[in-house]
Every structure is written in C-alpha cells, then in structure tokens.
Chains A and B, each alone.
Chain A
Amino acid sequence: MANNSMHVRRLMFSMASLVDLGQEATSAKSLSAKMKSALYVITGAFSVPTAALFIYHPRRKSLDLLVAKGHRDKALDKLSLSVPAGQAGQFRINDPHTVRELAKSFFFKRNKNSFTKLQARVFLPLFAKGGFIGAVMLGQKLGNAPYRKGDKDVLRIMAHQMAITLHHSQLFLELARKASENRRLFHNMRRIYNDTIQAFAAAIDAKDGYTRDHSYRVAHYSVAIARELGWKKKAVEGIYVAGLLHDIGKIIIDTKVIKKGRKLTSIELTEIRKHPQISYDILSKIKFPWNNIDNLVRHHHERMDGTGYPHALQAKDLSEGVKILTFADAFDAMTTDRPYRRRLGLDEAFGEVMKCCGTQFDEKITKTFFNLLLRELSGVKKKPRILPLLEHLDKSGFSTAKSTATVRKPAKSPVPKRTSAAARTIGRRTAAASGTAA
C-alpha cells in the first residue's frame, strides 16, 4: 500500500516536472535562458546537481556547450565535443544512454576527458524532425543515489520536448538572423541607390557651372515645403528624388544652349524646352519605390495660369508635388547667379515671387515656404532647413515684420491678376536660366 502511494506520488511529481518543462518551452525567453530553465527542470526532477546542454553543429560536427549547471570551471564555457562522422546515426533517438553503454564508442573515447570533467553518468541525445540537434549530459544524482527504472521513461519524454523547443528556437533565431541580414542588405542597397541618384544630380548640375548644386537645393527646398505641409515620410523621399533628378533631361541638350548668356533664339528655346519631357522619358523607364517621380519632373515648368510647358496644364490639373517642385526650381534660379544676370537678394526674390503668386506659383506653396523661412530667420525653428541653402544670399532688407504681414495677410486676393512687368521679366529669365523661358 505504502509502495503504491509512493508510486502515485512519484508519478504526480514526474507529471508536474513535465508541466514545468512545457511552461519553459513555451515561454518568451531567449534560447539560452529557455534551455537553462529546461536544464534546471531536469536537474530538479532527478536531483542531479551537475548537468550540461549542448547544441550540435552539423558543419563542424561538434556538440558545443550552451548551458551548464553545477560546474564552476570557466574553461567549460567553451567546451566542445567532437562527433565522429556517422556517430549521430548510432544514437537512439531521444533515449538516455548510460556512460557505460557509450564506453566502447569512438565518440566516448574521443571525448573521454570532457565526460570526466562533467562527471557525466547519462548522455541524452536530442533529435527533432529526424535530425540530431543537441544533447544533455547528466551527472550523478545527489548522494550518489541510483537512477531508477522509471527515470528513463520520463527522461525520454523530457528529451523529446527539449528537442522540439531547441529546434523551434533555432528556427526562430535563423529567421531573425535572416531578417536582420535582409534589413542590412536593404539599407546598403538604399544607400547605394541614394548615392547613385546624387551622382546623377551632380552630373546634371556639372553641365553648367552656374547651376552647380541647383538640383541639390531644389530637392532640399522641396523637402522643406513638403514636410511643412505634413507629407508622409515616403512621399517626402519621393519629392527629394524628383528634386535631384528634375533636370536630368538637360544631359542631352546641347551644352552651348544651356550655357548661353545671351537671349535664346526660338530654335534654342524650343530645344531647351524639351528637357522636362526628356527627363520624363528617362525616368519613366525606372521602377522607383516612390510614385509619380516621372510626372513630377515632366511638369516642373508648368504654371498656375496654364502658360507653362510642355502641356500648358491648368492649376487644377497640377499635383501639389508639381507645385512644390515648380516653386523650388524657380526660387533657386532667382537666388543664384546666371550667365545673363546676378542673383537677387532675398528681399527682391520675395517681392518677385509674391508678384508671380497665382500665375506662376501656387499661393499655398508660396506662403508655406516663406512662413517657414521667417520662422527660421526669427529662430523659432530650431533646426533650419532653408537658411543653410541661402548662405550665399544677401538677406538685408528682408524684414521679418514686413514679410510676415505680406505672407500672412493675403486675405481675398493676394494674387495680382496680372503679372507685373518685373515679374514677367524675372519669370522669363528664371525660366530661361533653368532652361525654360516662359
């Protein structure tokens, strides 16, 4: 009767141990923490003070120590057992082997010192999905108590569960490693992609000494405006790229025409006006990760009043991106030296833009740009994005108070119905300067 009671209690204890192991197997811990806990469950269940768990490396044909219990020797941390070819196939799957059983094997003989150091009595090979994936070594029980008959059955179940846990964790780690590798490759490709785009932009601008860094500035003005308008990150990236590449069509326009300081002939004008369409033709062949890059560049010389080119589109047919790019392109043309005129100061450029607001430029975009510039000038905006691009520019006379009033006031009709003569001139000149006579 007493024996029966003890048997039931042992059974209950074994079941409780298996439940503990199951809980550890499904926990969210790291592989080593999970396997350490699992090893503790086994050592606790069998009263074994010393134990070690190894992971099998098929390429190296070695069992490398993952976690150990009851061993203080630091040298054990790097312990590795050599597994001779064909040995794994000789192990009984998830079945405990006594050291005595293994004594004649080449595996034991080759690793005898390690078995001794670990005071191993039981070797438990772990198999999952038919493959050898690791092993547990158990030492002597506390007080040299013998392993019982029933221990073998419980160890077999535990080995099975540990093997599955180890296998799943390894799969997960492999997946995580691959995901991390893919992320790294993606970032590398992205960097190369960006570098290539910037190199193209530099090549475009290099065609004419006067337009050096023009594409770079247009890209940055566009980004500043798009961010102010609350564009999403990916769309902002898109307009940045469109800004860098908007003049790519100029690459095949005759350099003499681009660099000409005098008034363009009608043939030259026709020639230079082809560049937005050429830019489109080049970029539409590329599958960009951003939408509408090709259309943005094709329409960067359209105007609000429908007198732009190549399609003389009306304001309602122009996307916000096109309006931003149009503004950024013209503003940079005004504020940089050209073969036929010196650059305008900020105050003059502001005045000219305001005159062309509604005819050449979109009102909302214009206001957004100058309001941002004013905030940067007054120091309200801590990280200026436009000012660093205007270092070369005369900012005297550009009164914050005046500009604020002008930019923020345009109540009903801030936009002159007719463009002033000066504005028309600047419009023509800036257009010509960027290859786009109005």
Chain B
Amino acid sequence: MSNFSLSSKSAQDIAIMTPRGYINDIGAERLESTSEQFLGDGLKKLVVNFSDVQYINTIGLSIFLSMVQKTMEYKSLLCFTNMKKDHREIFEMAGLIKHVKVFKDEKDAFAYLNGRN
C-alpha cells in the first residue's frame, strides 16, 4: 500500500479518522488498529471521513468489516461521511451499510453524535 495514509484526531468524545488514497492492501489495517485504540481509550463515537479515499477493494472492505465488528463489540457508534456513490455501493453490496450511520459530511455526523449519550 504505497499511497495509503491516515490521519486521526479526537474532539471531546468523538474520534475522527481520515484515510487517504487506496484502501486495497493489508497496510490499511492501521484503520482497524487506530479505531480499536480509540475504542480501548473509551471513545464510543467514531467517524470515518471518506473525502480523500480514491479506491476501496475487497481487502479494504475486510478491514472496514473488522472495524464494524469491533464497534458492535464495544457497543459504539460508527459513522461514515463524505462517501462517494461507488464507495456507498460497495458497502451496500457487502451488507455493511446497515451497521453504520452514513452522513453527508462531518458537520452532520457531529450534530447527530452530539445529540446522543
């Protein structure tokens, strides 16, 4: 995974992860480990911003699958924002979309998450 990168931050009780580039290699497992770290630190609201994601394949899906599984185990919330149409379609096809909340952008996601305990 040469052109994958990930930035992350947390604000109050929300963790925001912004992956960039191609999510098509096990190198992108950093997404999974980072989200697990946030969950382990007690943050129960996770946001993934897809605005800079260029491509996701089945390996990428597998990584998101683990993230979804972990958030279910931790009884936490996982939100996706800024998804392109083809991103959304692939998540729908894999049956992942029903386990996450999808928002137009981070602002909408924050509004939703701030209204929840």
B40-73 contact mask (Cβ, 8 Å, vs A): 1 or 0:
0000000000000000011111110110110000
Contacts of A37 in B (CB 8 A): 25-26, 59
Among the stretches A12-20, A191-199, A371-379, A413-421, the one at the interface with B is: A12-20
Contacts of A17 in B (CB 8 A): 58
Q: Which residue of B lies closest to A13 (CB)?
A: B93
Nearest chain B CB to A430 CB, angstrom units: 68
User: Interface on chain B toward A: helix, strand, loop, or mixed SS?
Assistant: helix
Question: Which of these, A21, A36, A41, A142, contacts B96 with CB under 8 Å?
Answer: A142
**A221 part of interface (Cβ distance < 8 Å):** no
Q: Which residue of B lies closest to A19 (CB)?
A: B57
**B82 part of interface (Cβ distance < 8 Å):** no
Among the stretches A43-51, A231-239, A288-296, A330-338, the one at the interface with B is: A43-51
Question: Do the beta carbons of A13 and B90 come within 8 Å of each other?
Answer: yes
| B: contact size bracket | 20 to 34
Question: Do the beta carbons of A70 and B58 come within 8 Å of each other?
Answer: no
Question: Do the beta carbons of B99 and A43 come within 8 Å of each other?
Answer: no
Given contacts A40-B59, A43-B65, contact A9 B95 (CB under 8 A): no
**A33 part of interface (Cβ distance < 8 Å):** yes
Question: Do the beta carbons of B62 and A41 come within 8 Å of each other?
Answer: yes
Contacts of B96 in A (CB 8 A): 47, 142
User: Interface on chain A toward B: helix, strand, loop, or mixed SS?
Assistant: helix
Question: Do the beta carbons of B59 and A44 come within 8 Å of each other?
Answer: yes
Q: Which residues of B contact A (CB under 8 A)?
A: 24-26, 57-63, 65-66, 68-69, 89-90, 93-96, 98-99
> What would be 13 A-B contacts, judged by CB atoms less than 8 Å apart?
A10-B93, A13-B94, A17-B58, A36-B26, A37-B26, A41-B58, A45-B58, A45-B61, A47-B61, A47-B95, A142-B65, A142-B95, A143-B99
